[in-house]
């Protein structure tokens, strides 16, 4: 594809080597370390540092920096990865490190996910508590997700009569280093959970180390940890001039002679301006399929990836590109959040992969050609960072150049290139930090929900304080409880006694609303890691070729908009699951389906997104004008062409759902509050607005409702009440 006036060239990136290695450090023969890797190791060994932030660029070896101390046989670590796919990838990489370091006492590496935990517990005939204890006790490096880490610190996997620290008390004592990878992808609610857990570990176990890895760190998180008394050290190679961006081959060779390592190659980057409407990227890809094919014909040995925002778009495009490429002996694969493990592994052998996930792209799947969408500035930088990390493909064939096409809103191209003070000029060469700065400043600025810390963060803290006051550990943790409370009140800028008053009020409202004497759905969402999923459905995916990977979950809103389905019963779904497990010889975890709203067969992905809305049978005026989180019951879906809506509504009406309703249409709310692209907010009507072409109300559920609550006062025309002032 010829480059246009909206194209630039990105300079290569070289990373500075370490001048001196710490005394006694053992490395495989021929290995050298980058400056940031040694600095990270030194910071972790520094008794005056509690939290280390490594902000090295994508592809510059942050994972090795994190595990160097463990690979010396000096410590044990828990590493948290935001997805199970990434944890699985890191397990393979870590075992490779262990093999190359050749320690006398090799550290044992274990990956643990909810599914693996369930299968292990069933196979061994033990409880999940015993399964986690066993796995943790048999590991020096435990790779898991932040969900499990969060819940084992919140009394999950134990009984109500157990001591709250029965599980985490053991694990936190056994592991000295806690690694949090890719923490920039955490929502603010998840950052709150991380802060609360770090504070809990600090007050119950002294001298623990935390390492947070991200190329785009959250300055506010650093400030809050410092306010709580954590001693933080930031390892920032860019700020310390430990990156070079050479413009000539001669300069590159000089850097190589001095031991600098090439982290990224030069890239020809073109910005493709598109109307910010649904299916714009999908239409462009179909229209340019022959030009995309030409990339592989003109550059033999190329490997390419198309990374989009929509799973449904990927599902529609994969068969389209397969039909185009197969006639020329080229293969097309898929890599999405709904792809089974077998499908993901097969995609690594394809010539072109389409997906929503970047887990394998640029790591196991080495590419020289990239087309990508982005939801925001950070997403743009992260996805572009998957390209040009390797000079050869997986077969050892050298790439002859690196090309990227960014499918972006036309307004962004205008800001970057066409205005009088635009920062970029077509055809020029730029280094990565300059481009990243331009993208950060010119992309649509989305809301960061900073009010969540003060408004909801301490709700979780209150529950942890109550756990520390449990009769079985009250005396043991008396000083710890006071220290924890004091730190939380500083970090979240509120008093826990005020929070307790609101929690009590919600409990009373829930009892009156439901007739139940226990429970507090609002608090449950505030204290969870990802929020509850009251609209989650079990899916049997008939489009998935691997039988054992057809059993999935999908939220109802996504189903209504994108999927052709057939309603199924829970009993039939479970029978099919058991039969598939028996035929394949592979156990299929069932725990994730325990609380599903409904069960369905996925027949196909819609060519066009289907409209739908939520409906409330009464009046929403009082509910919406309250500008507060509430628990609603009686909700329905309305989608005229949907033949199975009636059956879903029978179940949905009985669901008590944490909600936030606003008296504004969805489009207006999204624009005025600068909501992220994938923020879960939906149109809703009541009996008086049912016939309106555009519903005049909006609704968010679960944790999204809590996030919306931190912003909604902006739509009132006056300052909203901050209930934890």
- Tens digits of per-residue pLDDT, 91-100? 988 999 999 9
- Nearest CA to 51 out of 195, 216, 215 is that of 195
Query: Hey, what domains does the chain have and what are their CATH numbers?
Result: 17-241 (3.40.50.300), 245-442 (3.40.50.300), 536-605 (no CATH), 613-715 (no CATH)
pLDDT band at residue 115, thresholds of 50, 70 and 90? confident
Would you say 212 and 224 are in contact if contact means Cβ atoms under 8 Å apart?
no
The span from the CA of 521 to the CA of 507, in Å, is 9
Top-confidence residue, 716 or 231? 231
pLDDT (0 to 100) of residue 642: 92
pLDDT above 70 covers a percentage of the chain that reads 95
The span from the CA of 566 to the CA of 674, in Å, is 36
- Tens digits of per-residue pLDDT, 167-182? 999 999 999 999 999 8
Q: What is the mean pLDDT of the chain?
A: 90
Top-confidence residue, 104 or 621? 621
**Relative orientation angle of helices 496-514 and 478-491, to the nearest 10 degrees:** 90
List, in sequence order, the alpha helices (H) in 178-270.
188-204, 219-227, 249-257
In the block, which residue shows the tokens 């060239």? 9
Greatest Cα-to-Cα distance within the chain, rounded to the nearest angstrom: 77
pLDDT (0 to 100) of residue 551: 94
Would you say 67 and 213 are in contact if contact means Cβ atoms under 8 Å apart?
no
**Element at 369 (helix H, strand E):** strand 369-372
Is 509 a residue whose pLDDT tops 80?
Answer: yes
The whole-number average pLDDT for the span 463-469 is 94
The span from the CA of 201 to the CA of 175, in Å, is 11
Would you say 425 and 489 are in contact if contact means Cβ atoms under 8 Å apart?
no
pLDDT band at residue 3, thresholds of 50, 70 and 90? low
pLDDT (0 to 100) of residue 721: 40
Give the number of C-alpha atoms closer than 13 A to the C-alpha of residue 362, restricted to the C-beta side.
25
- Nearest CA to 602 out of 558, 576, 563, 645 is that of 563
Both tokens of residue 627?
Answer: 């500008």
In the sheet where 13-15 sits, what is the strand order?
Answer: 243-244, 13-15, 261-264
Q: Is the dihedral of CA 299, 305, 306, 311 positive or negative?
A: positive
Both tokens of residue 551?
Answer: 């059993």
Would you say 76 and 176 are in contact if contact means Cβ atoms under 8 Å apart?
yes
Would you say 309 and 373 are in contact if contact means Cβ atoms under 8 Å apart?
yes
pLDDT (0 to 100) of residue 340: 57
- Nearest CA to 150 out of 387, 569, 463, 470 is that of 463
Is 718 a residue whose pLDDT tops 60?
Answer: no
Would you say 214 and 182 are in contact if contact means Cβ atoms under 8 Å apart?
yes
Helices H / strands E in the chain, number of each: 27, 28
Of 32-36, 82-86, 273-277, 525-529, the least confident: 82-86
The span from the CA of 184 to the CA of 182, in Å, is 5
Q: How many CB atoms within 10 Å of residue 224?
A: 20
- Residue 536 sits at φ, ψ, to 5 deg, of -75, 140
DSSP 78: E
**Residues with Cβ within 8 Å of residue 705, at least 6 apart in sequence:** 525, 629, 658, 659, 660
Top-confidence residue, 723 or 194? 194
Give the number of C-alpha atoms closer than 13 A to the C-alpha of residue 639, restricted to the C-beta side.
24
What is the 3 state secondary structure string of 84-148?
HHHHHHHHHHHHHHHHHHCCCCCCCEEEECHHHHHHHHHHHCCCHHHHHHHHHHCCCEEEECHHH
- 3-class DSSP state of 516: coil
pLDDT band at residue 714, thresholds of 50, 70 and 90? low
**Residues with Cβ within 8 Å of residue 253, at least 6 apart in sequence:** none
The span from the CA of 703 to the CA of 531, in Å, is 5
Would you say 56 and 215 are in contact if contact means Cβ atoms under 8 Å apart?
yes
The span from the CA of 610 to the CA of 55, in Å, is 42
- Nearest CA to 577 out of 121, 144, 157, 119 is that of 119
Q: How many CB atoms within 10 Å of residue 582?
A: 11
Length of the chain: 725
Is 461 a residue whose pLDDT tops 80?
Answer: yes
Top-confidence residue, 721 or 636? 636
Q: 464 vs 197, 341, 481, 507, CA distance in Å?
A: 9, 36, 9, 17
- Tens digits of per-residue pLDDT, 527-575? 999 888 889 999 999 988 888 889 999 999 999 999 999 999 999 999 9
Q: Which residues of 26-44 are buried (b: 16+ CB within 10 A; e: fewer)?
A: eeeeeeebbbbbbbbbebb
Top-confidence residue, 6 or 716? 6
Is 511 a residue whose pLDDT tops 50?
Answer: yes
Give the number of C-alpha atoms closer than 13 A to the C-alpha of residue 623, restricted to the C-beta side.
24
- Residue 442 sits at φ, ψ, to 5 deg, of -105, -20
């Amino acid at each position: 594809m010829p480059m246009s006036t909206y194209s630039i060239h990105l300079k290569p990136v070289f990373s500075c080597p370490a001048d001196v290695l710490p005394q006694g450090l053992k490395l495989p023969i021929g290995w050298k370390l980058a400056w940031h890797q040694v600095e990270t190791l030194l910071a972790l060994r520094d008794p005056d540092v509690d939290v280390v932030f490594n902000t090295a660029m994508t592809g510059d070896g942050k994972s090795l920096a994190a595990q160097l101390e463990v690979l010396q046989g000096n410590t044990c670590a828990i590493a948290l990865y935001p997805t199970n796919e990434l944890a699985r990838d890191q397990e393979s990489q870590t075992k490779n490190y262990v093999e190359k370091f050749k320690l006398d006492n090799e550290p044992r590496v274990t990956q643990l996910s909810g599914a693996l935990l369930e299968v292990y517990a069933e196979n061994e005939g033990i409880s999940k508590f015993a399964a986690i204890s066993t796995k943790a006790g048999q590991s020096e490096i435990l790779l898991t997700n932040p969900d499990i880490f969060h819940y084992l610190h919140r009394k999950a996997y134990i009984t109500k009569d157990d001591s709250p620290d029965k599980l985490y008390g053991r694990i936190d004592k056994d592991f000295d280093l806690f690694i949090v990878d890719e923490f920039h992808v955490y929502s603010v609610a998840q950052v709150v959970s991380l802060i609360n857990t770090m504070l809990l570990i600090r007050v119950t176990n002294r001298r623990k180390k935390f390492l947070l890895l991200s190329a785009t760190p959250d300055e506010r998180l650093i400030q809050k940890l410092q306010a709580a008394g954590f001693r933080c050290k930031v390892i920032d190679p860019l700020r310390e001039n430990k990156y070079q961006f050479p413009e000539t081959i001669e300069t590159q060779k000089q850097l190589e002679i001095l031991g600098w390592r090439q982290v990224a190659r030069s890239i020809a980057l073109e910005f493709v301006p598109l109307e910010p409407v649904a299916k714009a990227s999908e239409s462009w890809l179909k229209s340019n399929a022959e030009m995309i094919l030409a990339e592989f014909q003109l550059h033999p040995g190329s490997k390419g990836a198309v990374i989009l925002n929509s799973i449904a778009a990927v599902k529609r495009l994969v068969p389209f590109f397969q039909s185009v490429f197969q006639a020329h002996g080229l293969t097309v694969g898929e890599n999405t959040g709904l792809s089974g493990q077998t499908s993901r592994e097969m995609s690594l052998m394809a010539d072109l992969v389409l997906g929503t996930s970047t887990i394998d792209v640029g790591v196991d799947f080495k590419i020289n050609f990239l087309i990508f969408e982005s939801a925001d500035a950070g997403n743009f930088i992260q996805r572009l960072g998957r390209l040009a990390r390797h000079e050869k493909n997986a077969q050892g064939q050298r790439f002859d150049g690196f090309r990227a096409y960014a499918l972006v809103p036309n307004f962004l191209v205008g800001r970057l290139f066409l205005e009088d003070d635009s920062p970029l000029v077509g055809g020029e060469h730029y280094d990565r930090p300059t481009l990243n700065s331009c993208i950060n400043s010119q992309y649509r600025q989305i809301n960061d929900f900073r009010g969540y810390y003060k408004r909801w963060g301490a709700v979780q803290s209150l529950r942890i304080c109550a756990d520390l006051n449990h009769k079985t550990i009250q005396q043991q943790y008396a000083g710890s409880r006071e220290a924890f409370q004091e730190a939380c009140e500083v970090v979240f800028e509120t008093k826990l006694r005020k929070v307790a008053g609101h929690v009590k009020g919600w409990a009373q409202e829930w009892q009156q609303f439901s007739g139940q004497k226990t429970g507090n759905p609002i608090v449950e969402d505030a204290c969870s890691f990802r929020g509850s999923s009251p609209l989650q459905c079990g899916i049997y995916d008939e489009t998935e070729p691997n039988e054992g990977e057809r059993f999935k979950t999908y939220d109802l809103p996504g189903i209504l908009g994108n999927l052709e389905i057939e309603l199924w019963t829970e009993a039939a779904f479970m029978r099919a699951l058991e039969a598939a497990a028996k035929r394949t010889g592979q156990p299929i975890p069932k725990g994730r389906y325990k609380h599903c709203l409904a069960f369905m067969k996925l027949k196909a992905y819609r060519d066009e997104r289907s409209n739908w809305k939520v409906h409330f049978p009464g009046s929403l005026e009082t509910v919406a004008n309250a500008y507060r989180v509430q628990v609603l019951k009686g909700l329905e879906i309305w989608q005229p062409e949907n033949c199975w809506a009636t059956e879903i509504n029978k179940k949905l009406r009985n669901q008590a759902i944490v909600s936030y309703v606003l008296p504004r249409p969805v489009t207006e709310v999204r624009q005025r509050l600068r909501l992220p692209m994938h923020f879960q907010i939906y149109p809703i009507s009541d009996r008086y607005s049912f016939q309106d072409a555009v519903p005049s109300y909006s609704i968010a559920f679960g944790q999204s409702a809590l996030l919306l609550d931190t912003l909604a006062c902006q739509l009132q025309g006056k300052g909203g009440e901050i209930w934890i002032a």
